[in-house]
Amino acid sequence: MQVQQLFNAISQHDYEDSVNSKHGLMSSKMMETRYYEGCGREGPIRCIFLGEFHPVAGPKISCQFPEDYISKEVFDSISAYIIPKPQIQKCTMTINALGHKIVGYPIRIDNSRYERNVYLFNLCFVCDSWSKTVQYEPVVKKLGEHLTIMEEETRFVSSGCTKLPTLLAHLLHDLNTHRKATLVEGDTVMHLKVLEVRKDPSPVHDHDVPVLVASVGLPRPGRAPRAAPPAAAAAAPPPAAQHRQHLDPDPDDEEPFHVDMDADWDLTTRQLLPYINGYNHVSKIAADTNVEKTLVKSCIQNLLYYGVVTLIPVLKFSNMYRATPSLSRLFSDHELQKSCLAFISMGSDAKQKPKLSDVVETLCALQQGTTLRAVSERFCSAPPATFDIRRLVVFAQMHGLIKCLKRYPVYIRSPARPNGFASRGAGGGGGGGGSGSEAALGIRRLFTGRHCADEICCLARIDLAALDQIIEDDPNIAIIWR
């Protein structure tokens, strides 16, 4: 009996070990799936160390925090890259080896006061091998240049200053926790901040309409509000910064954003900002401000990169819109409701305020086959109007509640047969007919299904009514809505 119980206990123990090993293997595989080199995730700084070339011992770590995070064996394996040849001094470099990604900025100071007439050092940040580190490069470079000045003035680095470990600990904590740090040493003050590296903005076209993000109540330029954590996660105490696997964006980014028109903008931006109202497209802004269109596009693309503006299609009452699944947010998000009602209101002196039920009913009426004009006549024609439907459409597009359906003309027959272009162009007689026919032919070349109606109007410099007439007169043209 005792033998049988012992056998059962051993079997149960082996089973639990097998389950635990399989669970650990699955967790490691999931970890490898989520975190890998090039995944784009940003991780915390695990360690900061100061490497230098000692005149007797050679390359070594003179100070690091936390201590012994980078072992002597690991450092000896990569020391040739930490203290490199003179040709790549004062260059930001990243080393991904042995499970660590190290960002450094090697410094060389030539001076006869040193034993070998030269002093080499490198202050490095250590992150996980999968972590994105490009955002730390400006910080490492600024730190290296700052320590160079302090070394030349007071030999702060080479003298083995006792303040250096405290400085590294303070730096590691503040950059991981607040994404910024302030270093004070004597009369010298240095401010550091980890900046967000954004993706390249999409190209700006003539028919795009820029809208100031601040005008529609978004919490931060170009960024949706962060999702609330689960109740269990909110109740748990936050782990230490150095043990976090993934860093969230700066919490300050959720603060309401305000665009100061009187701020120190460049001349082109200062000239364009008053015309960015959510209705003017790029070509109209260029014409109204008498600024070259390429400069307007470049300026708006710069504002788009920093999240000051976003782009929406041209608002026309002939447009068709459809609701998106995000429209359900308007039922539960009270902050979104308040922002919407405040933005679409006819003014602070309006006698009647808009009702949320009317707003939701209007948005739900937007569907394929129903133009904005039909919805406007149905809900906003009876006075007094309590809200501006144009502002409602702008707000809903900015928050992803609705989507504009665009028209793409397609010429479905490659051999062009006689149509109304020549007769319409030749109506004036003489040479005008040839020029009109050539212009119509040039417009038809844009009917490939890749250019929407707004883009064609801007490229051909015609109004929408003229384009509609061309499409209506030619039976070879089909319309794709998407």
Q: In the predicted model, is pLDDT for residue 314 greater than 80?
A: yes
Rg (CA), the chain: 32
Alpha carbon separation from 318 to 171, 283, 389, 407 (Å, rounded): 57, 20, 14, 11
Question: How far is Cα 31 from Cα 11, in angstroms, rounded to an integer?
Answer: 30
Question: In this structure, what token pair is assigned to residue 145?
Answer: 């240049």
Residue 309 near residue 204 (C-beta atoms within 8 A):
no
pLDDT at 217: 47
pLDDT tens string 188-241: 888 999 988 778 888 999 999 999 887 654 544 434 443 443 444 444 444 443
Q: In the predicted model, is pLDDT for residue 291 greater than 90?
A: yes
Question: Which CATH architecture best describes the domain 45-193?
Answer: 2-Layer Sandwich (3.30)
Q: Which amino acid is at 255?
A: E
Residue 97 near residue 78 (C-beta atoms within 8 A):
yes
Residue 452 near residue 408 (C-beta atoms within 8 A):
yes
| Average confidence (pLDDT) over 122-151 | 92
- Using a CB cutoff of 8 Å and minimum separation of 24, what contacts does 164-168 make? 164/50, 164/63, 165/63, 165/65, 168/48, 168/49, 168/50, 168/63, 168/64, 168/65
Alpha carbon dihedral 263, 264, 269, 274, in 10-degree steps, equals 30
Residue 88 near residue 104 (C-beta atoms within 8 A):
no
Question: How far is Cα 341 from Cα 359, in angstroms, rounded to an integer?
Answer: 8
Q: In the predicted model, is pLDDT for residue 259 greater than 50?
A: yes
pLDDT at 6: 44
pLDDT at 46: 94
pLDDT at 276: 92
DSSP single-letter state for residue 351: S
Burial of 112: CB neighbours in 10 Å, binned 0-12, 13-18, 19+: exposed
Which one, of 271, 221, 234, 209, lies nearest residue 452 by Cα?
209
Question: How far is Cα 248 from Cα 368, in angstroms, rounded to an integer?
Answer: 39
DSSP single-letter state for residue 203: P
Question: How far is Cα 7 from Cα 103, in angstroms, rounded to an integer?
Answer: 55
pLDDT tens string 414-439: 544 444 444 343 333 334 444 555 66
pLDDT at 397: 93
Is residue 266 helix, strand or coil?
coil
Mean pLDDT for all residues in the chain: 79
Beta bridge partners of 103: 94, 125
pLDDT at 88: 84
Question: In this structure, what token pair is assigned to residue 35?
Answer: 């975190």
Residue 213 near residue 310 (C-beta atoms within 8 A):
yes
Percent of the chain with pLDDT strictly greater than 70: 74
Residue 373 near residue 335 (C-beta atoms within 8 A):
no
pLDDT at 288: 94
| Average confidence (pLDDT) over 31-42 | 68
Alpha carbon separation from 335 to 330, 342, 366, 401 (Å, rounded): 9, 11, 23, 15
Characterize the bridge pairing of strands 100-104 and 93-97.
Answer: antiparallel
* Residue pointed to by tokens 């597009």: 397
Q: In the predicted model, is pLDDT for residue 348 greater than 50?
A: yes
| Average confidence (pLDDT) over 338-343 | 89
Residue 309 near residue 212 (C-beta atoms within 8 A):
yes
pLDDT bucket at 242, cuts 50 / 70 / 90:
very low
Question: In this structure, what token pair is assigned to residue 381?
Answer: 């024609």
Burial of 326: CB neighbours in 10 Å, binned 0-12, 13-18, 19+: middle
User: DSSP strand E in 10-57: where?
Assistant: 47-54
Q: Enumerate the CATH 3.30.450 domain ranges in the chain, comma separated.
A: 45-193
pLDDT bucket at 24, cuts 50 / 70 / 90:
low
Question: How far is Cα 366 from Cα 412, in angstroms, rounded to an integer?
Answer: 29
Burial of 374: CB neighbours in 10 Å, binned 0-12, 13-18, 19+: middle
Q: In the predicted model, is pLDDT for residue 293 greater than 90?
A: yes
- Residue 447: φ, ψ to 5°: -85, 70
